[in-house]
Amino acid sequence: MKRQYTVIDEAGLHARPVSLLVAKASSHPNEITMWYKDKPYTMKSILMIMSLSVQQHDQFSIEVQGDNAEEILDSLEAILKENKLAS
């Protein structure tokens, strides 16, 4: 299952909310991938996600594979929305 988002935060994807996303992704055994500029990156590495320097207005997708994919994706999306990071 995959969903696309647009960054709305002026600072782009920054450390505090990204750390929450990575912690949530790491708490599941599923393969969780962030697609940015048509390339896949693991959502379980804060260094990987921060190194992308995703800016305001950039688009990215999150893909979750395996059991409970929709539930996991919903929980990641909640973090994005609660932190006003992406829509």
Q: Are strands 2-6 and 59-65 parallel, antiparallel or unpaired?
A: antiparallel
CB atoms within 10 A of CB 62: 22
Residues 1, 8, 12, 14: which is the catalytic one? Answer: 14
| Other Cβ atoms within 10 Å of 29 Cβ, number | 9
Q: Are 5 and 80 in contact (CB under 8 A)?
A: yes
Q: Is 28 a catalytic residue?
A: no
Supply the residues annotated as catalytic.
14
